[in-house]
């Protein structure tokens, strides 16, 4: 972060439709520097009702845009946390068509932001599965990128058990996109989802074109159990390893389906410092990605150039 962005500022006004939303920000009252891009991560406690979730997301997107964010990212399963795993299959949409995708395109266009919808259930080759897909829309509402979650979460301890492979078909390729505000620098943004965070080779693959990402996104719905143990450690490690910012929008709270998600939506800088974090409940983490800081860190510590394997 730039030094100006490290000063606290008043919380941006919250729309009436999200009176309970919190904001963790490190914004300053000075104009945004030309080498920075303001980003926002939404934290949600999504329900089994798509319409309710879209209304909640709409309020958070509007609040982020009002605070000057050029890129806004939503958490995994933002549109649906069903009572059963199979509920996402019933709600799946064909690629390019459906109310959830229409919503994301319209919101990006309305607010003139890069909007990252993480994640949307899209049709998979198998009738009983979906692709868990991050969809990215530009300020004109056109879709810029799609990333299908590669690594599928499984965990079993006592009465707590998860197996995403029962209802999700994995993706097979890494994806990045370019965020290029007219009044700011270009960012290479790498995409990942939740359990992907445990696989550092995915993030190395994002630099296969010779350029490491400036910003990594990790929309997630980490369980409370695994989140307490590993969430922050893994996020900071990915930032340190890749000398880039990490923005992780999360589900955060007790859901109607009985699931407890860890929350702690975060923005982390290339030195591994937590710039801003929101523990639980709906709200936003807002901060500035500073490309000069990225360049300086990579000059001071040229670890990316020292890779051998």
Q: Name the band, by pLDDT with cuts 50, 70 and 90, for residue 162.
A: confident
* Region 13-24 average pLDDT: 52
Query: Would you say 23 and 286 are in contact if contact means Cβ atoms under 8 Å apart?
Result: yes
How far apart CA 77 and CA 187 sit, in angstroms, is 25
Quick one: DSSP state of residue 31? P
Q: H helices within the chain, ranges in order?
A: 50-66, 87-90, 99-111, 200-205, 224-226, 232-242, 291-300
For the stretch 250-261, pLDDT in tens is 999 999 999 999
Query: Would you say 190 and 199 are in contact if contact means Cβ atoms under 8 Å apart?
Result: no
Task: Give the residue among 247, 262, 263, 183 at the shortest CA–CA distance from 215.
Answer: 247
* Region 229-255 average pLDDT: 98
Chain-centre distance of CA 104, in angstroms? 14
End-to-end distance of the chain based on CA atoms, in angstroms?
A: 30
pTM of the model: 0.91
How far apart CA 76 and CA 220 sit, in angstroms, is 5
133 or 10, which is more confident? 133
Question: E strand or H helix at 98, and its extent?
Answer: none
Active site residues: 76, 149, 194
SS3 170: coil
How far apart CA 77 and CA 81 sit, in angstroms, is 6
Task: For the chain, give the longest Cα–Cα distance.
Answer: 53
Q: Name the band, by pLDDT with cuts 50, 70 and 90, for residue 32.
A: confident
For the 4-302 domain, the top CATH level (class) is: alpha beta
Tokens of 62: 């509007």
Give the number of other Cβ atoms within 10 Å of residue 229's Cβ: 13
Give burial (CB, 10 Å; 0-12/13-18/19+) of 20.
Answer: exposed
How far apart CA 178 and CA 215 sit, in angstroms, is 10
Q: Name the band, by pLDDT with cuts 50, 70 and 90, for residue 25.
A: confident
Q: Name the band, by pLDDT with cuts 50, 70 and 90, for residue 37.
A: very high
Q: Where are the domains of the chain?
A: 4-302
* Region 296-304 average pLDDT: 96
**Rounded CA Rg of the chain:** 18
Tell whether the model's pLDDT for residue 195 goes beyond 80: yes
Q: Which of 72-76, 84-88, 133-137, 215-219 shows the lowest mean pLDDT across its residues?
A: 84-88
pLDDT of residue 28: 61
Quick one: DSSP state of residue 281? S
């Amino acid at each position: 972060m730039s030094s100006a962005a490290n000063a606290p500022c008043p919380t941006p006004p919250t729309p009436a439709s999200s009176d309970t939303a919190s904001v963790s920000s490190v914004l300053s009252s000075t104009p945004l520097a030309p080498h920075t891009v303001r980003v926002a991560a939404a934290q949600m406690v999504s329900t089994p009702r798509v319409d309710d979730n879209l209304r909640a997301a709409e309020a958070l997107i509007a609040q982020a845009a009002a605070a000057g964010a050029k890129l806004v990212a939503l958490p995994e399963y933002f549109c649906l946390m069903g009572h059963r795993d199979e509920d996402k299959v019933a709600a799946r949409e064909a690629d390019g068509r459906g109310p959830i995708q229409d919503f994301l395109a319209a919101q990006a266009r309305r607010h003139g932001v890069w909007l990252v919808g993480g994640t949307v259930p899209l049709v998979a080759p198998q009738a009983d599965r979906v692709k868990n897909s991050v969809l990215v829309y530009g300020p004109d509402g056109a879709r810029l990128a799609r990333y299908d979650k590669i690594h599928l979460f499984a965990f079993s301890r006592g009465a707590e058990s998860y197996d995403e492979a029962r209802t999700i078909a994995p993706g097979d390729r890494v994806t990045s996109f370019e965020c290029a505000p007219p009044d700011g620098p270009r960012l290479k943004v790498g995409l990942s989802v939740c359990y992907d965070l445990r696989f550092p080779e995915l993030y190395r693959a994002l630099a296969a074109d010779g350029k490491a990402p400036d910003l990594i996104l990790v929309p997630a719905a980490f369980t409370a159990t695994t989140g307490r143990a590993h969430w922050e450690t893994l996020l900071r490690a990915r930032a340190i390893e890749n000398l880039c910012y990490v923005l992780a929008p999360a589900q955060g709270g007790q859901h109607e389906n009985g699931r407890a998600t860890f929350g702690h939506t975060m923005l982390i800088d290339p030195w591994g410092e937590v710039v801003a974090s929101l523990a639980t409940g709906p709200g936003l983490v807002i901060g500035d990605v500073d490309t000069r800081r990225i360049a300086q860190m990579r000059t001071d510590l040229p670890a990316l150039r020292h890779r051998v394997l």
